[in-house]
Amino acid sequence: MKIRQHHLVNKGWVNYFSSPEFSAEKCQLVLAFGAPKLITDPEIYDYLKKSYPNANVVFASTAGEIMGSDVYDDSIVVTAVELEKSL
C-alpha cells in the first residue's frame, strides 16, 4: 500500500507525505475528512477527482481534523491510497 496525504487549511493545500513511487493515476481510494461546510463544496471534489482521476473519493464530516499530532477546525485532511492488489 502506498499513500499520499494533503491538508486543506486556510484555503490552501499543504502536502504532508507521499510514499515513494506513489502514482496518482493508480490511486484507487481517496478519503477526505473535514468540516461539513468544506466537504460539500463542489470545487473540493473537482480538485480531488482531477488529482486522482481513477479513484473513488469518499467524504466524511468531522468535529475536528487530525493531521500528525495536531487537531484543526475548518479544514480537510485527505489520504489517497494506492493498493497493490484489490478486489
**How sure is the predictor about 68, in pLDDT bands with cuts at 50, 70 and 90?**
confident
Say which residues have a Cβ less than 8 Å from residue 28's Cβ, sequence separation at least 6: 54, 55, 56, 81, 82, 83, 86
**How sure is the predictor about 65, in pLDDT bands with cuts at 50, 70 and 90?**
very high
Cell of 75: 479544514
Taking alpha carbons only, the member of 60, 39, 36 closest to residue 48 is 39
> pTM for the full model?
0.91
pLDDT at 85 > cutoff 90? no
Fold of 2-82: 60s Ribosomal Protein L30; Chain: A; (3.30.1330)
β-pairing, 29-34 with 65-67? unpaired
Residue 71 corresponds to which amino acid? Answer: V
- Compute how many other C-beta atoms are within 10 angstroms of the C-beta atom of residue 25: 9
> For 10-49, what is each residue's pLDDT tens digit?
989 999 899 999 999 999 999 999 999 999 999 999 999 9
